[in-house]
Amino acid sequence: MTSHYPNLLKPLDLGFTQLKNRVVMGSMHTGLEDRFYNYGKLAAYFAERARGGTGLLITGGISPNRQGWLLPFGGTMSHYGDVINHRRVTSAVHQEGGKILMQILHAGRYGYHPFAVSASNIKSPISMFKPRAMKESEIIKTIRDYGRCAKLAKLSNYDGVEIMGSEGYLLNQFICSRTNKRNDQWGGSLENRMRLPLEIVRKVRKEVGKNFIIAYRLSLIDLVDGGNTWDEIVTIAKALESAGITLLNTGIGWHEARIPTIVTSVPRAAFREVTKRIKHELSIPVMASNRINMPEDGESIVASGDADLISMARPLLADAHFVNKAAAGKAEEINTCIACNQGCLDQTFSMKRSTCLVNPQACFETELVYVKTNRPKKIAVVGGGMAGLSCATVAAERGHDVTLFEGSDDIGGQFTMAMNVPGKEEFRETVRYFRNQVKKTGVKLQLNQKVNTADLNKAGFDEIVIATGVAPRTPKIPGIDHPKVLSYPDVLRHGAKVGHKVAVIGAGGIGIDVSEFLLAEHSPQPLENWLDEWGVDLSVSEAGGLRPPKREQPLRQIWLLQRKHGKKMGQGPGKTTGWVHRLALQHHQVKMMGGVEYLKVDDLGLHIRVGDEEQVLDVDNVILCAGQESVRDLLPTDSEGKITDKRFHVIGGAKMAGEVDAKRAIKEGAELAATL
């Protein structure tokens, strides 16, 4: 037994099989599982995580039939022909000493296609397709389809299956009266509503025999009206145990819930309490999940007996070698998931392949490969923000002699501001990770070094990478140099004093960050305050675990402004996170205004025109969050902006300021470094 994280890393004996530790890579849709020609990439992706020490892996959701598709032509296991693709995955994982379950997911009314079915024909607020209510004969056929799917999974050499029964998918739709209005034997009483999942578990067990893992992911807190009460959840969990499941996994919240469950502002391990409560009701092992992203959190949960296993999906996307690093006592080398969703879920919901903002190799294991160089070069990277750090550390890891010049006294660039925003504390982990990578890979870091082109030329570098990032844009508004006006770095980096009434010019990601910074009392927000703000009752005494929120009076009065009409504020930050920011700002009574024309700033405040009406916002400060401009003065270019010296390269915000985000910056840095 290792001395580091002894509880998290100790084996778990399931009787017929053993897991080498308590770390489970939870199911996550990557997009690779939907196309047969991507199974080689999927195999490499899982093999990397098995090699990295993960005890148990779970695939993204695979449908048992066409009605259950999440997306048109989504991954399905319904024919013997499907076995061939899946065997590529299982054999790759087994070769690395790992174990893997296939998740069976029937999307029900979350299916983004016209064949979607559900318990009743009630449309979900997050899908454009209204489902058809299943006929009884279809329910019986669906049970058979689950059985066949599990049998084929066994034939594909999976170590088990996970039946997805949470997050608002089909089985959750049957279990909850919110979506089940049937009056036959599959609806009405709890006994009837839970009949389908129980029949499925029994059928699957019959098809796969005793020595095969069946995990069931049960929603322990639905976070929607018409969800289940705690007593109902306990009854279902016990019935599932009796029906023959091996493990129970924690599901938190339906996808349509308007309460965040995984974004970065959700406190770490926020839901461990509900897992703990179910654990004490059952004798089978129980898995905790949601916002657990570092080994110390997992260790504390297992050590205290709140759960037997820790499910982490995104953290293992971010770092495939999470477990090996933890076991070696090198947790500081873990590339921590910052729960931003930008590289993973936002991609999935845009029908693109998942990857990871902090790890561009994720899901691209066979395409973005860092090969050791046999021709080491002398490389300069100018700028210690995300693009420069990514480029410098990958180039050095490949064996190049890399010098990283940074004009300020620390690395991190824009992240050093983002990490000061309450709810974004996780961004510190990325700066910590790169600090270690710089040391580990031998990058020569030169802080407080404002180099010029002549210095770079003199030093005889073979390659010069300009990663000088962006500077805040100063809009041309009369009175812009009035003392009331501050830039966002003044506020987020330099701690400028800000009054009680504030106008924020620009409602992009940074305008929202600044508003949240000015409204928060604590960083990080204590769990109790977070539960109060969002109205979450972890005792689930009322259906769904909802209760009336308790909110303090806002610390400041804020106007968040943009020139555009119509467009929702905060759309920049991403599909899966924008709504959380918008709701949080509403909780704090922020006045969001679009279609604004800025007239001037003077002692009275900010003068604006909206439509035909002029008004003065009587504010103490005006904070500029009006986007960015590239800093690229070191780049030798001709009159058309083309680079004139072949040794020079440009990446990140310096290349293009518009839409720059850390995902693009880190990816561009790594991709360039892989080719130098």
266 binds ligand SF4 (CB under 6 A): no
Distance CA 128, CA 114 (A): 9
Backbone angles phi, psi at 561, to 5 degrees: -120, 145
Q: Does 507 bind ligand NAP (CB under 6 A)?
A: yes
d(Cα 463, Cα 650) in Å, to the nearest integer?
11
- Distance between CA 320 and CA 323 in Å, rounded? 8
CB of 225 to ligand NAP, least distance (A): 29
Give the span between the Cα atoms of 620 and 604, in whole angstroms. 9
Q: What are phi and psi of 240, to 5 degrees?
A: -65, -40
CB 424 within 8 A of CB 418: yes
Secondary structure element (H or E) that encloses residue 406, with its range? none
59: left (phi over 0), alpha (psi -120 to 50) or beta: beta
CA 294 to chain centre: 14
Q: Is 358 in the site for ligand SF4 (CB under 6 A)?
A: yes
Among 98, 413, 509, 544, the residue binding ligand NAP under the rule CB under 6 A is: 509
Q: Is 222 in the site for ligand NAP (CB under 6 A)?
A: no
Q: Which residue is nearest to ligand NAP (CB)?
A: 508
Do 520 and 424 form a contact (C-beta atoms < 8 A)? no
From 64-72, 87-95, 160-168, 570-578, give the range in contact with ligand NAP by CB under 6 A: 570-578
Q: Which is nearer to ligand SF4, 65 or 341 (CB)?
A: 341
- Residue 52: CB minimum distance to ligand NAP, A: 27
Helix (H) or strand (E) holding 371: none
Q: What angle do CA 388, 663, 655 make, to 5 degrees?
A: 55
Nearest-angstrom CA–CA distance, 646 and 87: 46
Residue 518 near residue 557, CB atoms below 8 Å = no
DSSP alpha helix (H) spans, 209-293: 230-243, 272-279
Point out which span in 78-86, 381-389, 541-549, 559-567 binds ligand NAP (CB under 6 A). 559-567
C-beta of 274 vs 519, nearer to ligand NAP: 519
Instruction: State the binding string over 315-354 for ligand NAP (x if CB under 6 A, else -).
Output: -------------------------x-x------------
Position 357 contacts ligand SF4 (CB under 6 A): yes
Identify which of residues 99 and 664 has a Cβ nearer to ligand NAP in the complex.
664
DSSP 8-state code for residue 643: B
Q: Which residue is nearest to ligand SF4 (CB)?
A: 343
Q: Which is nearer to ligand SF4, 426 or 533 (CB)?
A: 426
The residue among 390 and 628 lying less far from ligand NAP, judged by its C-beta, is: 628
* 660 contact choice in ligand SF4, ligand NAP, none (CB below 5 to 8 Å, kind-dependent): ligand NAP
Nearer to ligand SF4, 245 or 358 (CB): 358
Are 537 and 253 within 8 A, CB to CB?
A: no
Among the candidate windows 126-134, 189-197, 377-385, 507-515, which touches ligand NAP by CB under 6 A?
507-515
Nearest to 315 by CA among 286, 329, 333, 335: 335
Annotated active-site residue 169? The verdict is: yes
Burial of 623 per CB tally in 10 Å (0-12, 13-18, 19+): buried
Can residue 414 be called a binding residue for ligand SF4 (CB under 6 A)?
A: no
Q: Is 344 in the site for ligand SF4 (CB under 6 A)?
A: yes
Minimum Å gap between C-beta 563 and ligand NAP is 3
If binding is defined by CB under 6 A, does position 293 make contact with ligand NAP? no
Task: Rule CB under 6 A: say whether 513 interacts with ligand NAP.
Answer: yes
| 661 interacts with ligand NAP by CB under 6 A | yes
Strand partners, 18: 13
Residue 338 sits in the site that holds ligand SF4 (CB under 6 A) = yes
Are 33 and 42 in contact by the 8 Å Cβ rule? The answer is yes
Q: Considering the complex, state which of residue 158 and residue 434 has its C-beta at the smaller distance from ligand SF4.
A: 434
Specify which residues 91 forms β-bridges with. none
25 binds, among ligand SF4, ligand NAP, none (CB under 5 to 8 A by kind): none
Residue 341 interacting with ligand SF4 (CB under 6 A): yes
The count of chain residues that interact with ligand NAP, using the rule CB under 6 A, is 25
Residue 402 touches which of ligand SF4, ligand NAP, none (Cβ within 5-8 Å per kind): none
Which of ligand SF4, ligand NAP, none is residue 358 near (CB under 5 to 8 Å by kind)?
Answer: ligand SF4
Does position 564 bind ligand NAP by CB under 6 A? yes
Q: Are 115 and 69 in contact (CB under 8 A)?
A: yes
Please choose which of ligand NAP, ligand SF4, none residue 475 contacts, taking the beta carbon within 5 to 8 angstroms, the exact cut-off set by kind: ligand NAP
Q: Rounded to an integer, what distance in angstroms lies between the CA atom of residue 196 and that of residue 143? A: 8
| Encoded amino acid at 613, one letter | E
543 binding partner (options ligand NAP, ligand SF4, none; Cβ < 5 to 8 Å by kind): none
627 touches which of ligand SF4, ligand NAP, none (CB within 5 to 8 A by kind)? ligand NAP
298 binds ligand NAP (CB under 6 A): no
- Is 516 within 8 Å of 654 (Cβ atoms)? no
All residues at 6 or more sequence positions from 231 whose CB lies less than 8 Å from its CB, including other chains: none
Which of these ranges, 29-37, 311-319, 503-511, 614-622, lies near ligand NAP under the rule CB under 6 A?
A: 503-511
Binding region for ligand NAP (CB under 6 A) out of 16-24, 206-214, 230-238, 558-566: 558-566
What's the sign of the alpha-carbon dihedral 558, 564, 567, 572? negative
DSSP string, 122-138: ---TT-SPPPEEPPHHH
How far is it, in rounded angstroms, from Cα 264 to Cα 425?
Answer: 8
The answer to whether the CB of 619 falls within 8 A of the CB of 499 is: yes
* DSSP label of 36: G
Q: Is 153 in the site for ligand NAP (CB under 6 A)?
A: no
Q: Which of 27, 120, 628, 630 binds ligand NAP (CB under 6 A)?
A: 628
Per-residue x/- track, 284-323, ligand SF4 (CB under 6 A) = ------------------------------x--xx-----
Spot the catalytic one: 39, 158, 169, 433.
169
Report if residue 572 touches ligand NAP, rule: CB under 6 A: yes
Q: What DSSP line would sit under 288-342, residue for residue?
A: E-SS--SHHHHHHHHHTTS-SEEE-SHHHHH-TTHHHHHHTT-GGG--------T
Q: Which of 305, 475, 526, 549 binds ligand NAP (CB under 6 A)?
A: 475
Six token digits for residue 482: 């009035």
Question: CB-wise, 27 or 628, nearer to ligand NAP?
Answer: 628
> For residues 564 and 591, which CB has a smaller minimum distance to ligand NAP in the complex?
564
12-13 vs 117-118, strand pairing mode: unpaired
Part in contact with ligand SF4 (CB under 6 A); list of ranges 30-38, 52-60, 277-285, 342-350: 342-350
- Residue 286 near residue 23, CB atoms below 8 Å: no
Active site amino acids: 169
The residue ranges that bind ligand SF4 (CB under 6 A) are 314, 317-318, 337-344, 356-358
The residue ranges that bind ligand NAP (CB under 6 A) are 340, 342, 473, 475, 505-511, 513, 562-564, 572-574, 625-628, 659-661
